[in-house]
Structure 1
Amino acid sequence: MNVSLLEVQSIRKAFPGVVALADVTFNLKAGEVHALVGENGAGKSTLLSVMNGLIAPDSGEIRIEGQPVVLSDPTVALANRLSLVHQELVLCPNLSVAQNIFLGREPAARLGGNNRAALNRMARELLDEIHVSLDPSRPVCELSLNEQQIVEICRALASRPKVLIFDEPTASLNDDQVGHLLAVIRKLKASGLGIVYVSHRLGEVLDIADRVTVLRDGRVVGTRDVADLDETALVSMMVGREHKPGQSAYKERRQGSVALEAKAIGKAGVFDDVSLEVRAGEIVGIAGLLGCQREAVARAIFGASSIDRGEIRVHGKRAPLRSPRDAIAAGIAFMPADRKGEGLVLPMSVGDNLGLTILRRFGRLGFLKRRQKNASANDLVRKLAIKASGLSQLASQLSGGNQQKIVIGKWIARGGDIVIAEDPTRGVDVGAKFEIWRAIQGLADEGKAVLLLTTELQEMMDACDRILVMSRGRITGHFQREDFSAEAIAHCFVA
């Protein structure tokens, strides 16, 4: 591993009021996995954008195989065989899986147009490489967030790069899919590919990486061989202080009456005979592998899709939830995993996003009581420790963890008795995770019923009072807290 495929030398990038990167230097060798880690706001996303040609650095240099390059846009990066797997999806929802994977590189048919059969066959081969059973002809708009992440990964692999950058590639994947992906990365590494790997899952980083570079406040703290690190030492480098493993997120509390109940609900071809209940002050998780349809159940409860049979009850009364508007009126909040696509309005400010669910509260005769609205938003910023320059800062400029806190905050402002949280810690660092779990526990402490979906089983076991398991659209397991076992729960994944 002596050849440097990629060299980043003294990169600096400043935005109004903040230095995002200051003299950042690291290198990537052939046949190496080099991880970049740091808390949200450390500068990782800015550095990846510079390396992919999305942002021009103020100073510094990038070399690929020893030659200086000016990566003026992502097409130039691709021409230099540098490919990025985005954390935030950039797919065309109305095109098929295969069309998205080979967009711009479609095989031509004899009489013009695209050779659809060849396109699907090529996509199937890539999907087989990471052991995913996904129909190449299926429109991306019909896929879950997890499945869309798989398509994003395959699209980057389709360019057959020399340098492959993974930005939180497993944030939406379950343990089984993570294992398959890491196996693919090892195979790519063995072929001589250089891989830059960004992840907040530190156990995963220590498992797959050869070296780790830690960023903090836009600067390189240090680069270390993984063989010389453990998770405690790595977190200490990230946060700048000694790390002591925290206590479990679980907190026993008094539970009230049943707030949410689904009775034998079903949707043709998606899920069937799903029954569940969540009490006031209780956190109930739904675990399952990719394609188990738990996300479809959650969205049906929120009125985002219809059910064909069964019924949903709120506080014991039948609630015909035909739309999210109906669900919100019934006191149900939904925190989606896709915070940028569904949870936030990115071009709007922090303050305006926090006030989205309660605008009527601050309106009078067509005018907005901005002072009262801002006071409410400032209270949420303090309560959730949202790091922003002020209420006027755009949501798009915040780190992923702070964006997720805004999603939580706007529903705290709304009130209501039932909260559905879908992958609330997806793609956020260890510090932000703690704060997010504390906020969710706070909702349960206030007597709210919380239905939790997360791809990280250990986090679910740490936080929940009960766990349901789904497989192939049906409930296959039900565990009380005293019976929690990763092995027993995983056994129900394929029941």
Structure 2
Amino acid sequence: MQSDISPQPPLLEVSNICKQFGSVVALDKVSFDIRAGEVHALVGENGAGKSTLLAIMNGLQRPDRGEMRLDGTALALDGPAAARGHGVVLVHQELALCPNMTVAENIFLGNEPRSRLGNIDTAQMEERARQLLSAMHVAIDCRAQVSSLGLSQQQLVEICKALASKPRVLILDEPTASLTSEHVDTLLAMLDRLRSAGLGIVYVSHRLEEVLRVADRITVLRDGKSVAHFGAHGTTPEQLVQAMVGRELGERFAPRRANAPGALLLEVDGLGAKGRFSDVSLDLREGEIVGIAGLLGCERESVIRALFGLQRVDKGEIRIGGVMRRLTTPRRAIACGLAYLPADRKAEGLVPAMSVHDNLALTTLRRITRAGLVSRRRRDLLSRGLIERLAIKARDPNRGVVNLSGGNQQKVVLGKWLARDARLFVVEEPTRGVDVGGKPQIWEALQSVTDEGKGILLVSSELPELMALCDRIVVMSRGRVTGHFARADFDAEAIAHCAVSAVNAI
């Protein structure tokens, strides 16, 4: 529910910001402001200029022209520390946690409470961390190592870390991209409380229904310009989409082109990993997309990582093409024809500093290597074919893949496995951080994979996405399978009921 914003001076103003990288104009006279006690959303397709604008607001980049003002005073930032010192804190979409430190240590990193002797007061730090986590209504042990947490839990820790510095302006970049619906509700309720306490919140998200639910005002960026401003009340997702892309989009999800199921590609029977999941059974046929649904903590991510040799199992069988396999390492999984598209594509799916050409060729180095050296001609021939096939938008494929939008990065991850001719694709959160214009391209790419007789095991936190793309859905709760649904029986309420079903502890 949006609050009524009374006319008052802006807390933070961004005025006529311009930024250019070489011949590319990233921002062209962008202006908007944020008031105390409101949520101002920024929306736009990938490449619209949102990331550059956030980098300037956080001191990571300096504008070529224009200025920012805090409480009416010009604000010049020479880095994130300066921004934080003025009470402007950015929570990045990409996590910046120390995996080998505890949750409490991460939350107060660089801001640790001290005893009278100057030592870190661990007891006070952990107590304050517990209070923050409690306010988020999330049961995370503040003494747990971050490396032991799932991606969704790590995102919540990242947000608590920002709140620990008591910001005046909180900038959230895709904060719910890796959260399940239950924790989206928790986060949005927290934002209501922070807004009531007078915090100014800049909210960046591709989830337009979510934006309309939480925002007071919305600014739309397109091609580096602020092209529209909306009050959230009475605005529709269709209006936002049209402003974002400059055209109307058709149906949100294209109808699934059903394929006649072929031979069994994958059979999982009674798979278990002590302390994580137990008695998981499912199968996948050629030409199918089978989804795995469930809430945060259901351990579906552990199951698919086990299939790719990233999680040890102690029970059950895995058969690929009817042959029992022990997938103890990713190398063995790849040799058996498996491909893995992880949720955190930048950390696990790509080498960001390497070029688009090199990332697309990563799985086929032996094919393009002669006398121990990679043949650039063979590499470029391979990658250009994939760029054309997947409609990857890359101005210069020789530049780092980090320069691509989220949707195009995801296509690169998919492309490197298509280059190897994998048969069984394990795909986790395929449209995480992808804009509304890019999502249909990802969905169509996945459809094309099954049209070739390959199979996809798909994990997504968005139930509508699963129901639109999948032929069957397996539901998990607390480490066990609690439901199987054929496409004709898809029902959101029934699937959600299975996702919260009580099961015996592992």
Query: TM-score normalized by structure 1?
Result: 0.98
**Identity of aligned pairs, percent?**
55
Kindly indicate whether residue 347 of structure 2 is the aligned counterpart of residue 341 of structure 1.
yes
1:208 maps to what in 2? 214
Q: Is the 1:13–1:22 Cα contact (8 Å) retained in structure 2?
A: yes
Q: Is the 2:254–2:440 Cα contact (8 Å) retained in structure 1?
A: no
Q: Is the 1:249–1:437 Cα contact (8 Å) retained in structure 2?
A: no
2:315 maps to what in 1? 309
SS at match of 1:411: helix
How far off its partner does 1:301 sit? 0.5
2:486 maps to what in 1? 480
1:272 maps to what in 2? 278
How far off its partner does 1:111 sit? 5.6
Query: TM-score normalized by structure 2?
Result: 0.96
2:112 maps to what in 1? 106
SS at match of 1:187: helix
Which deviates further from its counterpart, 33-42 or 117-126? 117-126
Which deviates further from its counterpart, 250-259 or 110-119? 110-119
Aligned CA distance change for structure 1 residues 413 and 5 (closer, same or farther; 3 Å): same
Q: Aligned partners of 1:140, 1:478: CA distance in 2, in Å?
A: 32
How far off its partner does 1:403 sit? 1.1
Q: 1:257 aligns with which of 263, 266, 269?
A: 263
1:319 maps to what in 2? 325
Q: Aligned partners of 1:179, 1:249: CA distance in 2, in Å?
A: 29
Letter in 2 for 1:417: R
Q: Is the 1:165–1:196 Cα contact (8 Å) retained in structure 2?
A: yes
Letter in 1 for 2:414: I
2:226 maps to what in 1? 220
How far off its partner does 1:24 sit? 0.7
How far off its partner does 1:453 sit? 0.5
2:364 maps to what in 1? 358
Q: Aligned partners of 1:308, 1:247: CA distance in 2, in Å?
A: 39
Which deviates further from its counterpart, 454-463 or 383-392? 383-392
Which deviates further from its counterpart, 38-47 or 118-127? 118-127
Kindly indicate whether residue 473 of structure 2 is the aligned counterpart of residue 467 of structure 1.
yes
Question: For structure 1, which runs of at least 5 residues remain unmatched after alignment?
Answer: none
SS at match of 1:227: coil
1:170 maps to what in 2? 176
SS at match of 2:434: coil
SS at match of 2:250: coil
Q: Deviations over 1:4-63 (max 9, x none)?
A: 011001111111231111111111111111110000110101100100011111111011
SS at match of 2:11: strand
1:64 maps to what in 2? 70
How far off its partner does 1:367 sit? 2.6
Q: 1:389 aligns with which of 395, 402, 419?
A: 395
Aligned residues: 495
Q: Deviations over 1:303-334 (max 9, x none)?
A: 01211111111111011111000000000000
Q: 1:121 aligns with which of 112, 117, 127?
A: 127
Q: Is the 1:264–1:310 Cα contact (8 Å) retained in structure 2?
A: yes
1:284 maps to what in 2? 290
Q: Aligned partners of 1:247, 1:391: CA distance in 2, in Å?
A: 30
Q: Aligned partners of 1:103, 1:188: CA distance in 2, in Å?
A: 22
Kindly indicate whether residue 380 of structure 2 is the aligned counterpart of residue 370 of structure 1.
no
Q: Is the 1:233–1:243 Cα contact (8 Å) retained in structure 2?
A: no
How far off its partner does 1:247 sit? 4.5
SS at match of 1:120: helix
Kindly indicate whether residue 191 of structure 2 is the aligned counterpart of residue 185 of structure 1.
yes
SS at match of 1:4: coil
Q: Is the 2:476–2:482 Cα contact (8 Å) retained in structure 1?
A: yes
Q: Is the 2:317–2:324 Cα contact (8 Å) retained in structure 1?
A: yes
How far off its partner does 1:364 sit? 1.6
1:194 maps to what in 2? 200
Aligned CA distance change for structure 1 residues 249 and 76 (closer, same or farther; 3 Å): farther
How far off its partner does 1:295 sit? 0.5
Letter in 2 for 1:273: D
Q: Is the 1:232–1:245 Cα contact (8 Å) retained in structure 2?
A: no
Question: For structure 2, which runs of at least 5 residues remain unmatched after alignment?
Answer: 1-5, 502-506
Q: Is the 1:232–1:244 Cα contact (8 Å) retained in structure 2?
A: no
Kindly indicate whether residue 496 of structure 2 is the aligned counterpart of residue 490 of structure 1.
yes
Computed over aligned residues only, the root mean square deviation of the Cα atoms, in angstroms, reads 1.2
